[in-house]
Amino acid sequence: MQLDQMSWPEVETYLQSSGSIILPVGSTEQHGPMGLIGTDTLCAQRIASAAAEIAGCLVAPALAYTPAPFNTAFPGTVSLSSEVFCQMAQEILQGLGAQGFGHIYILNGHGANIAPLKQAMAALATGSVHLRSWWEFDTVQALREKYYGDWEGMHATPSEVAITQAFYRILPSGTASAPPRKLSPGYIKAHAGDRHGPPAAHRAAFPDGRVGSHSALATPQQGREIHGAAAQAVADDILGFSA
């Protein structure tokens, strides 16, 4: 059930038996020639909703405006500073805790969110908060490796594009039909967590927005399979966390 689609008496009744809620967090940024601007948020929302159905918990409205400064040279990207995002996340977590949600599960869909979210969590005085990114789980990683291998890359990944294809829109691959420049292990390690350079330099280095990710390998069928694996893994994790 979505928190924003409930009445306050319904929430009050829910809180009498459970204090668990999922908070999806994504971004509003370019995802290459065939990826949707809201990909990170859409994936986190969709997986959170499916996991909540399995686990019997609520889903809070997603946080869609987050740090993505490196992508602001591409049209459609809207970025918050890490400081503003951290403060906003901290106050939302405090607000959920004050309302009686004692188990807050953050489901993340964007690498640059991780550090400020951890900072926000560390500043909390009350409440129990757990942070996971939907791609972290072994079952999901196995599917990403099976279908894409090294072409999963770092940004506009075929796994996330596949999920949006399955549940939202399929865009023509266009220039993304050709593979991008493959990344070295050193580059991936150095830039993990979306530690990319200034916007103009980033676009010059990756002119179509993909960072080592062969988006055109994605299919809706793969997206449904990856989504299902992620939803089950998140549900199992929530149940363990809440217990």
CB 80 within 8 Å of CB 67: yes
62 occurs within a structural domain: yes
Q: Which of 37-46, 93-102, 111-120, 178-187 has the lowest mean pLDDT?
A: 178-187
CB neighbours (10 Å) of residue 122? 10
243 occurs within a structural domain: no
CB 146 within 8 Å of CB 61: no
The per-residue pLDDT for range 111-152, each reduced to its tens digit, is 999 999 999 999 886 659 999 999 999 999 999 999 999 999
| d(C-alpha 33, C-alpha 129), whole Å | 36
Number of domains in the chain: 1
The per-residue pLDDT for range 217-237, each reduced to its tens digit, is 999 999 999 999 999 999 999
The per-residue pLDDT for range 90-109, each reduced to its tens digit, is 999 999 999 999 999 999 99
The answer for residues whose C-beta is within 8 angstroms of residue 151's C-beta and 6 or more apart is 158, 179, 182, 212, 213, 214, 217
Q: Indicate whether 191 pLDDT > 90.
A: no
Give the domain CATH number at 154.
3.40.50.10310
30 occurs within a structural domain: yes
Average pLDDT, the chain: 95
SS3 for 144-158 is HHHHHHHHHCCECCH
Instruction: Report pLDDT for 127.
Output: 59
The per-residue pLDDT for range 163-175, each reduced to its tens digit, is 999 999 999 999 9
The answer for residues whose C-beta is within 8 angstroms of residue 14's C-beta and 6 or more apart is 1, 6, 58
Range of the domain at 16: 3-238
| d(C-alpha 54, C-alpha 86), whole Å | 30
Instruction: Report pLDDT for 126.
Output: 60
167 occurs within a structural domain: yes
